[in-house]
Amino acid sequence: MAHDLFTVQELVDAIVYSISDSYAVRRQRILSACALVSRSWVYPTQSLLFHEIHFHQNTPVAKPARWIGLKRTLEISPHLVHHIRRLHLYMGLLEDESILSSICNFPFTHLEQVKGQFYGTMQIHHALDLGQLFSLSTVRQVSLNFTSSAEPQVLPRIFERCSPACRDLELTLGCSHPLLPNVRDAEVMTSIPLKTLRLPLFGSALDRGLLPFLSPFDLPHLKALSIDRTANDSDIFWPEFYPVFNRLEFLSVCVMHAKTLDLSQFSNLSYLCISMEMDSISQQDMARLLSTMTSTHHIRELRVWFNVIEPDLEVCTWVDAVMSTVGIPIVEVRVHEAGWIKFFPRLREKNLVLIVPPGRGWRWDDIIATL
């Protein structure tokens, strides 16, 4: 008897996983229906339905009811817990306090990625709850977005028991944070070889005040570093970090923070992304930075992103001339408007100008996957 095509597991998997690219709300509805088709459809649909859990301000169901319902489902059907690999939290530290504590102390078994955006005043019990979540042995990626107030001694407690498997860290700390005191170094017993570090926004520029917050991590193993524009637009004194970041392969930096950056200090660097922010465009700074590349550099990809309202014609002309003859295998300029392409005639002829809408830059998760 011929097999029913809809019971051939390879075909079922292909059908179900093709649905994973659909619009989020529609995907959930379709997958829920697919789980009822037959037994062979249950596992692949459940693995996608529970793969990524979101709690944010746009959740159709109120966060308390959503978590209570999800927790009850997981307790009744514990086999579903191992499907949960990613957890996204957007919560107020006051109004969502009990939910956050319950989530952080839930026994997830295969959780790999945690992304949290929090508002409100962080107290010691919040830090300890987050520390419990980040301590799960399966956690490999952590993203923490926190822009409100907290006592300086509270923040380092978040990572003091961080999972030894953690390799990728993203921190957004707002301008209300003072430099963190070096209070945990003597007590840290583990050294976690961090692979990637992204600082989308930090209250002060990268400096030694950040290092106590990262004390559980072994930064000399870092392969990728991304530093966007900092809140107070101060410069970074790079020479004191060369010994720490000497294994970097990927570097993304705003040109305004690169005034003391010497690319020759990164012998393994192969990917360089330079962001030209609003009022930070400086032809001199760009020229100085690119002049630090030695003839023996290993940079294979150079991208310049004009993240501005209106491009400066003089700077565009200079970038066009330099990048069209720089001798790097892959070069690219990113702009926000199609009309800006005309400012880069040499690169345009080679199809090296890419239009990227504001807020739609390269995906950090894609960079992580290549390392």
Dihedrals phi, psi of 198, to nearest 5 degrees: -125, 130
Per the listing, tokens 């892959």 go with 330
Residue 71 pLDDT: 92
Quote the tokens at residue 80.
């579903």
Question: Rounded CA gap, 341 and 355, in Å?
Answer: 8
Per-residue confidence in pLDDT tens, the chain, 371 aa: 445 656 677 777 777 777 766 555 567 778 777 787 878 888 888 888 899 998 875 555 567 788 888 999 999 999 999 999 999 998 888 778 888 899 999 999 999 999 998 888 888 898 899 999 999 999 999 998 876 666 667 777 888 889 999 999 988 876 444 444 443 444 444 689 999 998 876 554 566 566 666 778 888 899 999 887 655 555 677 888 888 888 999 998 887 777 888 999 999 999 998 887 755 556 777 888 888 988 788 899 998 888 777 777 888 888 899 888 888 998 989 888 888 899 999 999 999 998 877 656 666 777 777 77
Is the pTM of the predicted complex or chain greater than 0.95?
Answer: no
Closest by CA position to 86, among listed 116, 57, 112, 60: 112
CB 238 within 8 A of CB 217: no
* Domain layout of the chain by residue ranges: 1-49, 51-181+201-218, 236-371
Question: What is the spatial distance between Cα 220 and Cα 223, in angstroms, rounded to a whole number?
Answer: 9
Residue type, 73: T
The encoded tokens of residue 327 equal 């001798």
Separation between Cα atoms, residue 107 and residue 62, nearest integer Å? 22
Please give the angle made by the CA atoms of 354, 364 and 225, to the nearest 5 degrees. 105
Tell me the three state secondary structure of residue 100.
helix
